[in-house]
Chain A
Amino acid sequence: MKKYFTPTLSLNCFNKLAAALLLLAAALDFSRAQEINVDNQISILGGTKPIHVTLDGFPPEVASVLRFDLYVQGFDFVPAETAQYLIHGVGSGNVAGTVTDNLAHKMILSRSYNGASLRRQAHAFADDIVQAVLNQKGIGQTKIAFKVQPNGIGPGEIYVSDFDGFNAQRITADDAIVAKPAWVPRELALYYTSYAPGNPDIYFHDLRNGQRRIIAGYSGLNTSAAVCPDGSRVAMVLSKSGSANIWVCNADGSGLRRVTTGVEDSSPAWSPDGQWICFAMKKAERRRLAKVPAEGGQVEYLNTSGAPNPTEPDWSPDGKWIAFTSQAGSEFDICVAPADGSLSPTALVAGQNPSWSANSRTLIFNRRSTGGYRQVLSVLDVFTKQYKDCLRAPGSSSQAAWAR
């Protein structure tokens, strides 16, 4: 397991006396670090303690971006006395700031930004903080695609926005039922389902020039497009054979072949190596998750014990985890299980439709708004279980896909 909390010591700037004092302080504080590491080993999913930081000296908009980005990547905000890292804003105008390790008393990041918008600069700073502290790529400057239903149900449109819901742009204008947008990896292009032709068909939509075309418009259901990590193939659900099954075609819709033959298959998701497709299915009328070789073959069931009615799997880009939705009655939970089946799933928060970020740490999902039936997008750190709602679009937002 990766240890995020080990204090780093540097003697660069200090004389021997200071170094001795620091080592003493670090030793005295070691109990804290060790306690966290033990917790990590017991339950990394949802049981990891957040990294305590304090934030000061930033204008409100910048501070709110930094708080959002860092909170959903496992940081929490505490008074300076108990913070492990001090994040300090410098000057005004463009974003500029420093990060100081409060245990080692060492500045670990010092950077300023110009260009774009203040929000964008703040996202870039958050990414640099995540890189400096966690040695992970941040999610601050990533995009999502999702669907918005103005009346909460029925017709809607596909939107693209920053991962926190800001800068939303409408992509379709069909006033039709839409479903399940999927990014082409590393491209400005989407696949999605639209009922605009009078049937649920799958479109490929190039966001650079606005051109789109149907790549699957067969008799019956055409939905749930999922693009394989190298972008060359698309998995989807078709019912042209007489039952809803997983099929795979080339990126342009050619080369269609059937992959599963169950009674009711849904929600294909690719393994990061493109060798497997995880999907939801029925076995003896019980919902299960399974995986099948992308070229077809023997179906293997996933360990989802303890998580009833699993659907909507998404495989983390690092290959380690499968996130999915578990359902009991009218309640939905976001669950995460090791892809190798070595452990039972962990239920994290109430919600549906999980989609991994590129860093395999954060999920975007939708959850029922408090006291209502509309869905809001929310971002979840699977290690600390911390989540925050994205900026709300009018109506109901769901089926977010994280660009990666």
Chain B
Amino acid sequence: MKLNKLIFPMVLALAAVLASTGCKKGITKVTPLPGQPPAIVSDQGGAGTIAPGPGGQIGGGDNIGSTGVPTAAPGPIATSSDWDPANTVQDRAALAAYTVHFKFDSAVVQDSEQSNVSSVAQALTSDPNVKLLIEGNCDERGTEEYNRALGERRALALREALAKVGIDPARIRTISYGKDKPVDPGHDESAFAKNRRGDFVLCHPKTGV
């Protein structure tokens, strides 16, 4: 190491001498860059665009190119033949007392929650015109997309439980909010327990439609 420390300054000095006596390299290459892409503009739908910079991006494959999007024929817009909760009058209060709660990382409907399921089934049986939206939710202890799948599984498990007691599953739609809609914003077990839930929203037909 000591030798190393002596040699290094020597080499540095030598390099400096060489650099000043004919080995100097100046700036050898100028790389022109295109301008920045223009600012975002909105179309009638409020959705954004980003125009490619003039001359495309520099640097090659890592960058966003400015070549065309494949002009695929407009595919069939996948619409469900199911009823649409957006076309109903939603009543969140009617079944709010029957929210079903789940254990951590589980979509199993506990025996202790069966009375809530029965109450929801009664509401659907007593009025054949109403439909049901089940919202699956999770606590924050899970990754975002994992929780979106878990919330859906919880909602589907409740639909299954209702089907078991005789409710036509075609009357039921599910939606998962993952961890995006906690009822309690806290970060402790008491909040988590409240947030692991399936909420029931009664959907009445719109009058005059």
Contact = CB atoms under 8 A, between A and B. Distances in A.
B66 interface: yes
B14 A209 contact: no
B111 interface: no
B194 interface: no
B209 interface: no
A333 to B, nearest CB: 11
A54 B60 CA distance: 28
Given A211-B47, A239-B156, A244-B152, A143 B30 contact: no
Given A22-B11, A253-B76, A116 B177 contact: no
Interface in A141-191: 141-143, 153-154, 160, 167, 169-174, 177, 179-180, 183-184, 186-189
Interface stretch (B91-99, B115-123, B124-132, B179-187): B179-187
Contacts of B15: 18, 105
A305 B12 CA distance: 50
Interface stretch (A23-31, A290-298, A383-391): A23-31
A242 interface: yes
Contact of B74 (A110, A140, A184, A213): A213
B30 to A, nearest CB: 5
A327 interface: yes
Interface string B45-59: 111111111000111
Contacts of B36: 116-117, 120, 167
Residue among B85, B144, B156 with the highest chain A CB neighbour number at 10 A: B144
Contacts of B46: 172-174
Contact of B144 (A160, A249, A353): A353
A187 B36 CA distance: 17
Interface string A367-404: 00000010000000000000000000000001100011
Contacts, number: 287
B87 to A, nearest CB: 9
B35 A13 contact: no
B33 A114 contact: yes
Contact of B174 (A167, A209, A239, A311): A239
B75 A111 contact: no
B29 A221 contact: no
Interface string A86-124: 000010000010100000010100111111110011001
Contact of B48 (A90, A110, A207, A332): A207
B173 interface: yes
Interface in A31-87: 81
B contact patch SS: loop
B10 interface: yes
Interface string A227-252: 00001000001011011100001111
A254 interface: yes
A254 B57 CA distance: 31
A261 interface: no
Contacts of A160: 50
A124 B31 contact: yes
Given A172-B48, A177-B177, A210-B43, A332 B143 contact: yes
Contacts of A206: 49, 69
B67 to A, nearest CB: 7
Interface in B14-48: 14-15, 18, 23, 25-36, 39-43, 45-48
B33 A221 contact: no
A254 B72 CA distance: 10
Interface string B133-168: 000000011111110111011001000000000000
List 8 A-B pairs, minimum CB-CB distance, nearest first: A252-B75, A116-B33, A210-B43, A115-B33, A210-B49, A253-B75, A266-B149, A252-B72
Interface of A: 13-14, 18, 21-22, 24-25, 28-29, 81, 90, 96, 98, 105, 107, 110-117, 120-121, 124, 127-128, 137-143, 153-154, 160, 167, 169-174, 177, 179-180, 183-184, 186-189, 197-200, 205-221, 223-224, 231, 237, 239-240, 242-244, 249-254, 256, 263-267, 280, 285, 287, 311-312, 325, 327, 329-330, 332, 352-353, 357-359, 373, 398-399, 403-404
30 contacts: A14-B18, A18-B15, A21-B11, A22-B11, A28-B7, A105-B12, A107-B25, A111-B27, A115-B34, A142-B62, A143-B64, A160-B50, A184-B69, A186-B64, A200-B176, A206-B49, A217-B77, A219-B174, A221-B175, A224-B145, A242-B156, A243-B156, A249-B75, A264-B149, A327-B142, A398-B144, A399-B144, A399-B145, A403-B64, A404-B62
